[in-house]
Structures are given as C-alpha cells and as structure tokens.
C-alpha cells in the first residue's frame, strides 16, 4: 500500500528514507506499478529511478529526498485525509532535522491517530554513527515526551513489524522504532558505513 507511494482508498505509505529507494522501486515493480525492466536503469544517467524516491516515477505522488521531507508531508496527508491511515518510513538520521520534530509536535497536538511513523534505527547515517553525529537516545523517552504512542521492535522481524502496525492508538500518533543492522545478512556489508549509499 504505497502512495509515495502507492495509494489504496484508505492507506498511504511514504518512503522518506532516501537510500531505501532501490527497495521501494523494486516493490513498485512487484506490485506491477512500474515495469521490472525499468529497474535495470536505477541510478543511471537520465534515469527516472534516482537515488531518492522521485515523483517522476509512476505511483509516486511526491519526491521525499532530501533528508527529512517525507514525514512533514505525511503529517499533511494525515491532517487532510483523516479517513486514511498514513504510514511513513524514515531513517534515524532524519531525526536530526528540525522539520521532523516540528511535525512530531504538530501530529501530537492534533491527535493524529491515523499516522504511524516507522523509524529505521540502524545507528548509521551518511557521514558516521548517529550517536556521534547527534545522540538522540533514549528515543522512546523523546517520543513519549512529545505525546506519541511508542513501540520498539526488532526491525528484522516481519511478524513483530506486522503486529506493531495493527490498529490505531487512542488519540495519539504512533511510532515504531525498528532496531536494525545496516546490511543485515551480508557479512561484508553489515554495520559498515561505506555501504550506506
């Protein structure tokens, strides 16, 4: 259910996590929204499949790169479409952006229980470890202080993610902190900054 993105009549998914674009485009292909052959052009000169999710791709309503753009857009969609459930995937690096925290405060103030934020908390961002660049731990305490309903899960567990996504919280937006390891399952890539891109 993507609207950023594939949209059903009730749900919207926004992929704000820029460097997940390749996986997002593969999902669009799997849903038959874009042709599989287009995936061969990912990142090539003049390709519509650029490194951050782009509105030039069929099925995508708006571009979310650079850092921190997707979540504020998701809050806007949740405000405008209260009958829709809005899901936004961000990176832990996006928590460095002021617009993210402004949007967290606004979503709580407006009691947007139709938005779910998923934070891919893998501890790495473009230029280093997130705790060395801007340490925001403990994340749960910060989200709770902003008035959010919070869950922390193993982000590699599909069953844990599925269970966490179920239902709305009462008069609160919901955040799922998905603890992950960058490059999980490929020993040469696991937890290595050089594989960020």
Quote the pLDDT of residue 9.
Answer: 61
pLDDT band at 6, cuts 50/70/90? very low
pTM: 0.91
What mean pLDDT is reported for the chain? 90
What is the rounded radius of gyration, in angstroms, for the C-alpha atoms of the chain? 16
Q: pLDDT per residue over 60-99, tens digit each? A: 888 886 677 899 999 999 999 999 999 999 999 999 999 9
């Amino acid at each position: 259910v993507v609207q950023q993105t594939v949209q059903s009549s009730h749900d919207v998914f926004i992929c704000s996590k820029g460097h997940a674009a390749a996986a997002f485009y593969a999902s669009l292909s799997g849903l038959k929204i874009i042709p599989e052959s287009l995936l061969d052009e990912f990142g090539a000169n003049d390709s519509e499949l650029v490194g951050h999710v782009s509105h030039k791709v069929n099925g995508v309503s708006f571009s979310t790169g650079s850092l921190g753009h997707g979540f504020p857009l998701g809050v806007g969609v949740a405000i405008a479409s209260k009958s829709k459930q809005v899901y936004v995937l961000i990176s832990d690096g996006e928590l460095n952006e002021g617009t993210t925290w402004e949007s967290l405060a606004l979503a709580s103030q407006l009691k947007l229980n139709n938005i779910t934020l998923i934070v891919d908390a893998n501890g790495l961002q473009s230029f280093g470890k997130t705790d060395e660049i801007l340490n925001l731990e403990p994340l749960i305490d910060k989200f709770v202080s902003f008035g959010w309903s919070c869950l922390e899960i193993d982000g590699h567990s599909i069953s844990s993610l599925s269970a966490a996504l179920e239902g709305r919280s009462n008069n609160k937006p919901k955040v799922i902190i998905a603890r992950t390891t960058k490059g999980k399952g490929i020993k040469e890539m696991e937890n290595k900054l050089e594989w960020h891109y």
